[in-house]
Chain A
Amino acid sequence: MAHGPQPGFKRWLFTTNHKDIGTMYLWFSFAMFLLGGCMALVIRAELFEPGLQIVRPEFFNQMTTMHGLIMVFGAVMPAFVGLANWMIPMMIGAPDMALPRMNNWSFWILPFAFAMLVSTLFMQGGAPNFGWTFYAPLSTEYAPPSVTFFIFSIHIMGASSIMGSINIIATILNMRAPGMTLMKMPLFVWTWLITAYLLIAVMPVLAGVVTMMLMDIHFGTSFFSAAGGGDPVLFQHVFWFFGHPEVYIMILPAFGIVSAIIPTFARKPLFGYSSMVYATASIAFLSFIVWAHHMFTVGMPVAGELFFMYATMLIAVPTGVKVFNWISTMFRGSMTFETPMLFAVAFVILFTIGGFSGLMLAIAPADFQYHDTYFVVAHFHYVLVPGAIFSITAGVYYWLPKWTGHMYNETMGKVHFWLAFIGLNVTFFPMHFVGLAGMPRRIPDYALQFADFNQIASMGAFLFGAAQLVFLFNVVRTVQGGRKATDEVWDHPQGLEWTVPSPAPYHTFSTPPAVR
């Protein structure tokens, strides 16, 4: 395999190289992150004051819907797949992904799928306006015509995810270097193995539910219509059977990244490796039996409410194991706080806050008060922004020297961290208060008494947005040049990826390394 990269754009169109494909995933994800972020800023600008000032309510609804869809499917998931593409073959000593051409196909579907989704903004009747959870009958009987394009874009995104996950599982199970037993794999590989399994299990269910919508809208079926004997609540059951594992799809790889970074900068091996593996597997199992905690107020038998409440609370146990292990890894370590570590430590603290508000929401009787308020928005942004986004950012800073061969600017990295850290807390912490006070989510207007906290949140949002431009600038500068990175980059980090030169050559481990 002597071939190197082809010159020009054909390299990117025709590539079969896991590093090229990983890079494309990461840049695509960042572009979607900025686009979804701009939509969030439209929302926050409108909510700066009570009353309607900037956008019409119909457009506001399209913004909340598209912001959610783009961030979930366009920003967070592809970023993790990009990191998986770059790192998994290098971490397990494989020459590439198991099925390199299908890998390229998985990536290139995404820009097309999102072009289709974003194009609905310009269609008659506007873009989807029913929220990223697209509950029937809002998304069926009362949907704009563009819903058909939304459905098919979800279908091809799902095909991309399933192929990507099949590739990751085949790579991990089949391509490990001799001696790399399962229980020697880095946790990022473990968490991705389990995530890929979750994806293959639930993306087809998402395909099923959008197919049911399509049939109800255009072909006269009665899945979600009581007149024919169906039930709109059925939509929520099928959707959340996909949706709850989906939220773990967006956090398990984050656990893997943080479990790689904290030992490096605490200069201690990870505490409780095998318990981390078992905790991840337990979380994945539990994710299949808690879905209806999203639907406590919809009308369920009491036995159902109780089952889903207790099952949900159980998740705190394996998650607590993980937080305990990260803290124990740091305990009495020789810690330094480079940018990746700052993001990782912030992850542990802020994700735990999001976990606790999740426990509050898990209590069915209390959820009747919190449901559909800004408290829920605060909760899931606390697990997704400092959870998924911070861990991705941490991973990018951590591995960027390995990818580019250059060190990023540490000062600028720290500036990015503090701006993002302050910005996100200023944005999302006040949402707990307005939520508990009863401000409903997804409404462009609000009662006067919520104005102060909303103004604070909006200012925080613009600060957080600005921080990402520092990140972009720093990354571009690092790609272009900068101080040479050593092969190890950090202070004796663990893992095969640090045994190859920086920047990592186009092909690594064409001959598998020996793992002891």
Chain B
Amino acid sequence: MASESSYYVPAQSRLPILATIGLFMTAFGAANWINGHGAYIFFAGALTLATVLWSWFAQVIRENMAGLNSEQLKRSYVWGMGWFIFSEVMFFAAFFGALYYIRNFAVPWLGGEGDRGASNMLWQGFESTWPLLVTPDAAVHGDAAKVIGPKEIIDPWHLPLLNTVILLSSSFTVHIAHVFLKKNKRSAFNLWLGITVILGAAFLYFQADEYHEAYKHLGLTLESGVYGTTFFMLTGFHGAHVTLGTIMLLVMLLRSVIAHHFKPDDHFGFEAASWYWHFVDVVWVGLFIFVYVLGS
């Protein structure tokens, strides 16, 4: 097997240590910022990290175009992306699990129901409801309460439904783009990928609109008890992932339009981004069902 013997092992690389410095400054700077000591280190770190990752990806693309990557090496990247997405699935699983526990155990117990209903002795007058509009704090302390529930919640059948349609369609459009790429139809590929990026941006716009309404009119905030907590943490992390996915697809579009990257049989960069896109789409379906529809 000739190709197996030519697995490309780069000689030396400055990229990892520079990426480490960037990541460390980002993390240390974030902690510093949150503790109230200024944001300079964080932004310097984030900029460093972004720059290094940019050149790292550029390096990998150059190596591939120079023909250094054997079929076997390409499979390593495929495995790598697949397992990275699995790690993301587990990250969301932690938050979906927290929502499940809070809805089915914590809040009913606080309201005096079920096996551990004795917890209600500490919060007499609190009743278990979902969405949790009256927090235990508000039920017991009334106007003196610090954690007050939202006045209203988001209606799933308006903006969220629209966003569901947008995101599901975008999974189709990115797939159509992929089909055209495999048929070597460059302009159709660019068009459908462009539509996908626009749909992603539209989703983010409506999500921002929804957050604005929640904060401005509904009293639904991060601080409005555990409903707001789970709502914003789940949809917020999803939104962050959609942002990243949109940036990834946009980069792929620019690579195709400007630099004419990707061949019908060699385009894993694009394929990885599209996998990621399908993943954020699936998470959204879970959110729409468990956070919006069953949450209202």
Given contacts A149-B28, A149-B31, A302-B115, contact A104 B13 (CB under 8 A): yes
Contact call B110/A226, Cβ cutoff below 8 A: yes
With an 8 A cutoff between CB atoms, is A370 at the interface? Answer: no
With an 8 A cutoff between CB atoms, is A95 at the interface? Answer: yes
A148 to B137, CA, bound (A): 26
Please name all residues of chain B whose beta carbon is closer than 8 Å to the beta carbon of A34 when the two chains form the complex: none
> Which of chain A's residues has its CB closest to B20's CB?
A108
> Which of chain A's residues has its CB closest to B111's CB?
A229
A204 to B97, CA, bound (A): 13
A175 to B34, CA, bound (A): 43
Tell me how far the C-beta of B5 lies from the nearest C-beta in chain A, rounded to whole angstroms. 5
Q: Which of B83, B88, B229 contacts A223 (CB 8 A)?
A: B229
Please name all residues of chain B whose beta carbon is closer than 8 Å to the beta carbon of A241 when the two chains form the complex: 94, 97
Contact call A229/B27, Cβ cutoff below 8 A: no
Tell me how far the C-beta of A95 lies from the nearest C-beta in chain B, rounded to whole angstroms. 5
Contact call B95/A214, Cβ cutoff below 8 A: no
A319 to B180, CA, bound (A): 52
Contact call B136/A208, Cβ cutoff below 8 A: no
Please name all residues of chain A whose beta carbon is closer than 8 Å to the beta carbon of B116 when the two chains form the complex: 299-301
Please name all residues of chain B whose beta carbon is closer than 8 Å to the beta carbon of A233 when the two chains form the complex: 106
Tell me how far the C-beta of A81 lies from the nearest C-beta in chain B, rounded to whole angstroms. 15
A11 to B75, CA, bound (A): 28
Contact call B5/A152, Cβ cutoff below 8 A: no
Tell me how far the C-beta of B196 lies from the nearest C-beta in chain A, rounded to whole angstroms. 26
With an 8 A cutoff between CB atoms, is A346 at the interface? Answer: no
Determine, out of A153-161, A351-359, A403-411, A414-422, the stretch whose residues face the partner at the interface: A153-161
Please name all residues of chain B whose beta carbon is closer than 8 Å to the beta carbon of A302 when the two chains form the complex: 115
Contact call A105/B110, Cβ cutoff below 8 A: no
Please name all residues of chain A whose beta carbon is closer than 8 Å to the beta carbon of B145 when the two chains form the complex: 227
Q: Which of B19, B76, B102, B110 has the most CB of A within 10 A?
A: B76
With an 8 A cutoff between CB atoms, is B246 at the interface? Answer: no
> Which of chain A's residues has its CB closest to B52's CB?
A105
Return the CB mask of A7-20 against B: 1 if under 8 Å, else 0: 00011011111000
Query: In the complex, which residues 456-512 of chain A have their Cβ closer than 8 Å to any Cβ of chain B?
Result: 507, 510-512
Tell me how far the C-beta of B54 lies from the nearest C-beta in chain A, rounded to whole angstroms. 15
With an 8 A cutoff between CB atoms, is A170 at the interface? Answer: yes
> Which of chain B's residues has its CB closest to A16's CB?
B10
Return the CB mask of A184-227 against B: 1 if under 8 Å, else 0: 00000000000000001111110111011011001111110111
Please name all residues of chain A whose beta carbon is closer than 8 Å to the beta carbon of B149 when the two chains form the complex: 229
A331 to B182, CA, bound (A): 60
> Which of chain B's residues has its CB closest to A177's CB?
B4
Contact call A510/B5, Cβ cutoff below 8 A: yes
Determine, out of B156-164, B220-228, B284-292, the stretch whose residues face the partner at the interface: B220-228
Please name all residues of chain A whose beta carbon is closer than 8 Å to the beta carbon of B27 when the two chains form the complex: 113, 116, 152-153, 155-156
With an 8 A cutoff between CB atoms, is A314 at the interface? Answer: no
Tell me how far the C-beta of A94 lies from the nearest C-beta in chain B, rounded to whole angstroms. 8
Contact call A105/B19, Cβ cutoff below 8 A: yes
Tell me how far the C-beta of B278 lies from the nearest C-beta in chain A, rounded to whole angstroms. 19
Return the CB mask of A285-304 against B: 1 if under 8 Å, else 0: 00000000000000111100
Tell me how far the C-beta of B287 lies from the nearest C-beta in chain A, rounded to whole angstroms. 15
Contact call A220/B115, Cβ cutoff below 8 A: no
A233 to B106, CA, bound (A): 9
Contact call A238/B147, Cβ cutoff below 8 A: no
Please name all residues of chain B whose beta carbon is closer than 8 Å to the beta carbon of A109 when the two chains form the complex: 20, 23-24
Please name all residues of chain B whose beta carbon is closer than 8 Å to the beta carbon of A448 when the two chains form the complex: none
Return the CB mask of A62-102 against B: 1 if under 8 Å, else 0: 00000000000000000000000000000000111011111
Tell me how far the C-beta of B211 lies from the nearest C-beta in chain A, rounded to whole angstroms. 14
Query: In the complex, which residues 137-154 of chain A have their Cβ closer than 8 Å to any Cβ of chain B?
Result: 145, 148-149, 151-153
Contact call B24/A102, Cβ cutoff below 8 A: no
Tell me how far the C-beta of A19 lies from the nearest C-beta in chain B, rounded to whole angstroms. 12
Contact call A220/B136, Cβ cutoff below 8 A: no
Return the CB mask of A318-330 against B: 1 if under 8 Å, else 0: 0000000000000
With an 8 A cutoff between CB atoms, is B171 at the interface? Answer: no
Given contacts A155-B27, A215-B233, contact A175 B226 (CB under 8 A): no
A200 to B87, CA, bound (A): 5
Label chain A's interface by main secondary structure. helix
Contact call A205/B91, Cβ cutoff below 8 A: yes
Q: Which of A6, A13, A203, A218 contacts B87 (CB 8 A)?
A: A203
Q: Which of B12, B34, B84, B110 contacts A214 (CB 8 A)?
A: B34
> Which of chain B's residues has its CB closest to A166's CB?
B83
With an 8 A cutoff between CB atoms, is B184 at the interface? Answer: no
Contact call B86/A201, Cβ cutoff below 8 A: yes
A230 to B105, CA, bound (A): 10
With an 8 A cutoff between CB atoms, is B65 at the interface? Answer: no
Contact call A228/B12, Cβ cutoff below 8 A: no
Please name all residues of chain A whose beta carbon is closer than 8 Å to the beta carbon of B146 when the two chains form the complex: 227
Please name all residues of chain B whose beta carbon is closer than 8 Å to the beta carbon of A204 when the two chains form the complex: 87-88, 90-91, 93-94
With an 8 A cutoff between CB atoms, is A178 at the interface? Answer: yes
With an 8 A cutoff between CB atoms, is A277 at the interface? Answer: no
With an 8 A cutoff between CB atoms, is A445 at the interface? Answer: no
With an 8 A cutoff between CB atoms, is B17 at the interface? Answer: yes
With an 8 A cutoff between CB atoms, is A384 at the interface? Answer: no
Tell me how far the C-beta of A384 lies from the nearest C-beta in chain B, rounded to whole angstroms. 25
A235 to B129, CA, bound (A): 22
Please name all residues of chain A whose beta carbon is closer than 8 Å to the beta carbon of B14 when the two chains form the complex: 13-14
Please name all residues of chain B whose beta carbon is closer than 8 Å to the beta carbon of A208 when the two chains form the complex: 91, 94-95, 98
A166 to B87, CA, bound (A): 9
Please name all residues of chain A whose beta carbon is closer than 8 Å to the beta carbon of B135 when the two chains form the complex: 222, 227-229
> Which of chain B's residues has its CB closest to A161's CB?
B87
Given contact pairs A15-B12, A145-B35, A222-B228, enumerate 14 new A-B contacts (beta carbons under 8 Å). A1-B9, A13-B14, A17-B9, A101-B13, A171-B76, A174-B72, A175-B72, A212-B98, A220-B222, A221-B233, A223-B229, A227-B145, A512-B1, A512-B4
24 intermolecular pairs with C-beta atoms under 8 Å apart: A3-B11, A14-B17, A16-B10, A17-B9, A98-B76, A98-B79, A101-B13, A101-B56, A109-B23, A149-B31, A152-B27, A162-B84, A170-B80, A200-B90, A201-B87, A205-B93, A205-B94, A207-B94, A222-B228, A223-B229, A227-B145, A229-B107, A231-B101, A234-B102
Q: Sorted from nearest, which 7 A-B pairs have the closest CB atoms?
A: A208-B94, A220-B223, A229-B226, A231-B106, A204-B91, A105-B16, A301-B115
